[in-house]
Amino acid sequence: MSLKGKTAIITGSTSGIGLGVAQALAQEGANVVLNGFGDAGEIETLRKGLEADYGVKALYNPADLTSVAESVDLVESTVKELGAVDIVVNNAGVQHVDLIEDFPPEKWDFIISLMLSSPFHIIRTAIPYMKKQNWGRVINISSVHGLVASDKKAAYVSAKHGLVGLSKVVALETANYNITSNAICPGWVLTPLVEKQVDLIAEKEGIDWDAAKDKLLSEKQPKLEFSKPEQLGGLVCFLCSEHASTITGTSLSMDGGWSTR
């Protein structure tokens, strides 16, 4: 599944799922463009580590994805610096929880801008380059919440459902340009933020970490096991390979059975 010489943009890739995806793509030989927030020194260490470990070029672009201009420039600057944009992985996301009547409008606008509008602007900018080279992969990291809903998550669920629909439209419009467009829909993924949630349950209820993990997962997910960022990365790499060249316009669940209920 070598992706040697390909260039990938991965949003929200300074930690968690996005970093796992970036590492997997770099391991397959792709040059990567990181994007996200965090300590500048830590991000530089990550960037240098990818180059040293995998012999690829790794750039960091601090684009604010709530800005149309910066979302577009993320693509344009990648082409300018690395010569192409072959793979786009839209992953950046945030969460806010509130009843719909209490949901702050500014939170709605922020989440939709970051998680749906920015992917649209990144994709619309990248597609002409992909068409010109007759090859491209668009992968939107949606969520099980792109397939089913949970209460108090109006903006997140709406954005993730929108990503699934956007993936389908892009697939239809690029079907004969050797470009594929798909959504990945994970359930619980073991990221540092989720680990903290488990820690809090364990502390609050006076139980061990494994029992707290099972309690968290069992609320929604039949399989009491977290997916891991590197597993998401493996699925992204598969979708970028020639083995998946006719998989387009679909949503692939990695949710431990959550969406089957």
Give the residue numbers marked as catalytic: 156
Neighbours of 213 (CB within 10 A): 22
Torsion of CA 188, 257, 87, 45, to 10 degrees: 20
| Cβ atoms within 10 Å of 48's Cβ, excluding its own | 11
**Buried/exposed 103-128: b ≥16 CB within 10 Å, e otherwise:** beeebbeebbbbbbbbbbbbbebbbe
Contact call for residues 92 and 64 (beta carbons, < 8 A): no
3-state secondary structure of 109: helix
**Structure letter (DSSP) for residue 15:** S
- Nearest C-alpha neighbor of 97 from the set 159, 141, 151: 151
The C-alpha atoms of residue 108 and residue 157 are separated, in whole angstroms, by 11
